[in-house]
Structure 1
Amino acid sequence: MDNSILLKVRDLKKTFVKKTGSILNRKLQNVYAVHNVSFEIKKGEILGIIGESGCGKTTTARMVMRLMKETSGEILFEGRDLCKLTDSETNKLRNKMQMIFQDPYDTLNPGMTIMDILMEPINAHEKHLPYDEKVRRVKEAIESIELRPAEDYMERFPHQLSGGQRQRIAIARAVILEPLFISADEPTSMLDVSVRAGILNLLLELKKKMGLTMMLITHDLSTASYMCDRIAVMYQGKIIEVGPTKKIIQSPSHPYTKALVSVVKDLNYFIQNREKLILDGEVDATEETAGCPFVKRCPYQEDICNSKMPKQESLGAGHAVSCHCHSNLLEKTS
């Protein structure tokens, strides 16, 4: 494995089984949440995984963080396959891999003070440290997220903080052990617009200061373009396009990516030309298609799109797309 790569995911798959029908006519139905997803993240970079609700991006993050077991596939962290580790071995890696969740209201224990919340990971992984050193680490962590003086916050409870402050405490809890890798799942979607930029800038500052490698899960392409070095676009459990952020924004090669970019660039243009960019519909993870997963919503579909799954094709400079007709999309949209 390349020493510059911290995380490598190979053919990751997750299939759920849900019950449908009435009580007297109960049926089981497969939900293909993640289907043969592969990507890699280099040390020190931020990879954004974007897509609409139900595309599988959060499920992917939860499997990478070992909060959910995969159906099949490999997750290599520092060359070690996390899928083969025991629960005990996985717990020992928690100090290297941390997650920032979407909702700060749910992730902080309302019955614990900020001191106790931030002390918890230290007690779990570095309990040998003297108490004074643990307190120093907590103060340092609080000040690193720009809540100063730290003493004003240590004895507060989560309900005594604003939403933005709560998310900053969640970030402090994630970085207090100085991990190598952070997975951030929609870290600003539950916050007021006025405080989102501050949280994003804080993450960028911590990434630079600590040399963090990050995976950012988001449905917002504008957030991904601001934060990420590379972007992977997911649709119906598959990565359909991946590449450097500038390439994805300036030269999207998949029709779904084109639609996402058009919304960010000009919402009025997207509304007026919606049928040329994307057809109505939603992600249906219960349907395993023989062809392209986007075919029912694609205005550029051809016969081959219904019968053959597109393979990921390299376009050079780290840019790749899974689309049968990407080469003539430009001609059709002009």
Structure 2
Amino acid sequence: MRLLILGTGKMANRHATSFAAIPGVHLAGAVDTDAEKLQSFCDKHGIERRFATVESALAWGEFDAVANVTPDAAHYATSMACIAAGKHVLCEKPLATNHAHAVEMADAADRAGVVAMVNLSYRDVAELHAAREMVLAGRIGTVKHLEASYLQSWLVSSAWGDWRTGPQWLWRLSKGHGSNGTLGDIGIHILDFVAFGSASQISDVSCRLKTFNKIEGDQIGDYVLDANDSFVMTAGFDNGALGVIHATRWATGHLNELRLRIYGDKGGIEVQHGHQASHLRVCLDGDAETATWRDVAAAPVATNYERFVNAVRLNIPTEPGFRHAADLQRLLDLASLAEMPQPRGKQKKMTRLNAYRMS
């Protein structure tokens, strides 16, 4: 499979390294408007063909698939161009910056008959797959309640770099630079973590968003620090279950950690995933009487990169696909309404969005 890397930022290095490790995959070319960054990236990964625009790469056309690692706001236009040219696409999350564009992308991919996958990277967590299999097998009975969180600490820790001086962090804090804050950046990950792990579709949401003061004036250079930092969401599920989902960048002591707790009428499952390790615990059968939790090992699973390559080779759909990502984007759009300015005298930064349903 001949692959084009579209965008050569930090995440593109993971794409290039992961794809190059798969037998039979050739990194055919790369695209970036920043010539210096493009040259450095291609030299590092041994990529010969280099393009300043997606149009010039498509005019060349000697590739089968695209890894779209452009900024969020560019996903729609660049993916649509690649799909129109008959190229398979693995797009970074979120699929688009709004639900309407995400649906257009899913529809276009269906019409073109190409493999269209979104890199919701926590699908690579083996423990999440094991949890889903237990839910589907009925091990915990009917799912009743869920609790999930995505915790990061980079606003209170320099472990990943100083957000005050690094453009790779500052843009995530600024709506004017294409950010939808914590909700758009990691919200889509935790929503997918919940829906996939619990084998349950989210049907409705209520959400509160908060943007905290960080520095005097809340602006650094061209970056206005106005994107949300934390959200707390309640969710209803199509099976009648209720859940609480929250995320923040202020979680001191948690570099990058996802948690999911699933409770049914016969047992419970807990998944924890962090930088160093993942854990799966269950309370099943007779252990429910004594509240005894036991660790469970999970079998390895294929990565998104491996699943994408296999799907392209077989020309079959694979998940997580564009349609699923569009469904998640609708939830994010609805939750984003909570940040819209309210009439004078009303609270502007924290509002409640009641029971917007997926249809």
TM-score normalised over the length of structure 2 = 0.31
